[in-house]
Amino acid sequence: MAKIRSKDTKPEWLVRRYLFSRGYRYRKNVKGLPGTPDIVLRKYGIVIFIHGCFWHGHEVDGHIPHSNSDYWRRKIEHNQQRDEKNKEALKKMGWKIMTIWECQLKPAIREQTLYEMEYWINHSFLEHYRQKSPNTYEIIENPPCIVADNMVEYGKKKE
Ligand SMILES: [Zn+2]
């Protein structure tokens, strides 16, 4: 039970709750796939990782502690390499991959992050039929507010 609860960390819960409220159905912590993705939207061919900035070495804010810095650097670099390997493997299997960093779920930018995630999910679902979508996507730090405009264009292209 404790093991299950530790998998349901708050950032992951935020993303799942949003997806659920928007009508998406997913599987979580899918052990059969490389890296045990936090969220799998099978119908969309999408996996989502929610990464803690420290453990996964987010370049923006994943600071290495001053004490034992060699140890931490090695450990975090190891995690980064493992993440990279898992994502490569998933890509080869045909999955589209999104990485959401913990800091992108801070209250000030959370709504925008989730909104952009949903946009990307729908967009790549559509792109899937055009066979030219990039396989990986990361929400950039403070993404530009162009989502609303894109939504209009997206609606037009649908026909
Ligand atoms: Zn971060």
Ligand 1 midpoint to CA 113 (Å): 13
Lowest mean pLDDT among 84-88, 101-105, 145-149: 145-149
- Which of 156, 158, 141 lies closest to 101, judged by CA? 141
Ligand 1 midpoint to CA 129 (Å): 33
Domain 2-157 has what CATH class? alpha beta
Task: List CB contacts of 116: < 8 A, sequence separation 6 or more.
Answer: 139, 143, 147
Ligand 1 midpoint to CA 157 (Å): 34
Map out the domains of the chain as residue ranges.
2-157
* Residue 98: band (very low, low, confident or very high) from pLDDT cuts 50, 70, 90: very high
Q: Residues with Cβ within 5 Å of ion ligand 1? A: 53, 58, 60-61, 101, 103
Residue 130, pLDDT > 70, answer no
Ligand 1 midpoint to CA 23 (Å): 27
User: What confidence score (pLDDT) does residue 12 get?
Assistant: 94
- Rg (C-alpha) for the chain, rounded Å, is 16
Ligand 1 midpoint to CA 64 (Å): 13
Ligand 1 midpoint to CA 100 (Å): 9
Instruction: Count CB atoms within 10 A of the CB of residue 105.
Output: 20
Ligand 1 midpoint to CA 144 (Å): 17
Average pLDDT over residues 40-61: 94
